[in-house]
Amino acid sequence: MFQNLDMFKTAMSMARHAGVKQALTSQNVANSDTPGYRARSVTSFADLVPDNPRELALRTTRSAHFGHRNSLETTPVETRANSDPNGNSVVLESEILNSVDAKRQHDRALAIYRASLGMLRSALSKQ
C-alpha cells in the first residue's frame, strides 16, 4: 500500500529543481558585470514532468550507471542571447524575479511534502 509514494518523490524533485534554479540565478547575479557572460536558466519544472507518470525515465549521475544519459539531458539549462554591448546577457531585474520564483517553488514543494506527510500519519494512526 505504501510502497509507491509518488507524491513524496514529486515534492523532492520539485525542491531539487528549485535549488538548481536558485544556484543558476546566484551565478548569473555574481557574473552580472563579467564581459561575455551569458545568463543561464533552467527549464521550468512543469515542462520536465511528463503528463504520463509511466514516461518518467531513470536519472543517473555517472556514465557507469545503467541507462546513463548525458548531463545536458538530466539538467536542461538554457542560455540567453546577448543584450549588452560587452556581451553580457544578465538582467538583474529578471534574476530577482527568478530568485523569488525559485523560493516560491521550494516553499510549494515543502507544503506538498508536509500535507502528504500529514495524510500518511493520519492514515497510519489508530482512530
pLDDT tens readout for residues 28-82: 999 988 888 888 888 888 777 766 655 555 555 666 655 544 433 455 666 766 6
The grid coordinates of residue 27 equal 551565478
Q: Tell me what the pLDDT averaged over the chain comes to.
A: 78
Note the pTM of the prediction, 2 decimals.
Answer: 0.70
Using alpha carbons, select from 48, 49, 71, 72 the residue that is nearest to residue 61: 71
CA distance readout (Å), 26 to 14, 77, 100: 18, 14, 12
- Pair 50, 56: CB distance under 8 Å: yes
42: β partners: 77
